[in-house]
Amino acid sequence: MGTRVEIYGKRRNQNKIIEVIIMSFKSLLVVFLLALTTNIYAQYISADDARKQEIIDESRKNTEALEDLRGKTFWYRPNPKAINVITFLEPGKSGGAPVPYREAERKFNVVTETSFVIENYEIISNGMHSFDSYFLKLVFPDGKVGYVNIHNPYKTLSETTSGLPLYHGRDNFYDDFREYIFSRPPQEIYDAEEKAANIELNKRKISQAKLAAEMKARGGVKIGMTVEQVLRSNWGKPRGVNRTTTPNGTHEQWIYGDRNFLYFVNGILTTIQD
C-alpha cells in the first residue's frame, strides 16, 4: 500500500511539471505570435508628423547644447583677411534678442581682440512647422551686451559655417580667410601650435640627420660588390628589379629612381649608372 501511494505521488508531481512546461510554452508562443503580428506590417507616419518630430528632436538637442554653453568665456580676434566676419547684434526693442522678421537687426562688429561671456540664451519660437531661432547673449568686459543668432547650437562649436565657429586648429589654406572664437587667448593657442610644430620639425631633422649618418657609415658602392654588400651600403634596397636570365647567366637591373641604376651579372655588380 505504501509503495502504491509513493508511485501515485511521483506521477502527480510529474504531471504537474509537464503542465508547467506546457503552460510556459503556450505563453512563449503567444508572445512570439504577438511580436510577429506587430511587426508584419509597415509602420506609417504622415509627413507633417515626421516634420514635427524632427523639430522636437532638434529643439531638445539644441537646448542641451545651449545649457552647456551658458557661463563659458571665449575670446575673439578680428581677422582683416576674413571673407566673412563674425557679426554681433544689438539688443532688440524689448532689451532682449531681436525678434526675427519683426524688427530690424542692428549689427555691430568688434575691431579689437577681446573676450566675452555667454551669459544666457534665448529661444524664439517660429511655430510648430518651422525651426526655432536661437540667440546667445554675450557680455563683453566693458559691460556691452550683444547677441549672436546661431542655427544649430549643438553644432556651433564644431562647424565653421555656424554663427559662432570655434577654432580647432589650422585645417587648411582657407583658415587664413575665416574668423573664429577661441576657448582661451588666441596668442596662447597660436604659441602652443608653433611650439608643437617646432618640436615635430626638430624630430624630423634629427631623424633625417640620423639616417644620413647611418647611410654615410654604410659607404657607397663599387664595382665587384656582391648583392649582399650593396644592400648593406647607403644605396640599400632598390625600388624595383628587372631580371633577365640567359644561357650565360642572370643579369639584373636595380632601379633606384632619379635615373640611378645598378647592373649585376650573376650577383656581382658590374655597372653603376648615376
In the chain, what are the domain boundaries? 48-184, 219-273
Q: Which helix (H) or strand (E) holds 260?
A: strand 260-265
**Whole-angstrom Cα distance, residue 104 to residue 90?**
10
Residue 5 has pLDDT above 90, yes or no: no
pLDDT at 248: 86
Cβ–Cβ < 8 Å for 136, 118:
yes
**Whole-angstrom Cα distance, residue 214 to residue 233?**
10
pLDDT digits (tens, 9 = 90+) for 250-260: 999 999 877 88
pLDDT digits (tens, 9 = 90+) for 113-144: 999 999 999 988 766 545 678 899 999 999 99
pLDDT digits (tens, 9 = 90+) for 44-84: 778 888 878 887 888 888 888 889 889 999 999 999 999 88
| Residues near 69 by beta carbon (within 8 Å), at least 6 away in sequence | 118, 121, 136, 153, 156, 157
High-pLDDT (> 90) share of the chain, %: 36
Residue 2 has pLDDT above 90, yes or no: no
Closest CA to 28 of 17, 20, 18: 20
**Whole-angstrom Cα distance, residue 221 to residue 241?**
17
Residue 226's pLDDT band, with cuts at 50, 70 and 90, is: very high
**Whole-angstrom Cα distance, residue 22 to residue 80?**
81
Q: What is the gyration radius of the CA atoms in the chain, in angstroms? A: 38
**Model's pTM, two decimal places?**
0.58
Residue 9's pLDDT band, with cuts at 50, 70 and 90, is: low
Other CB atoms within 10 A of residue 110 CB: 19
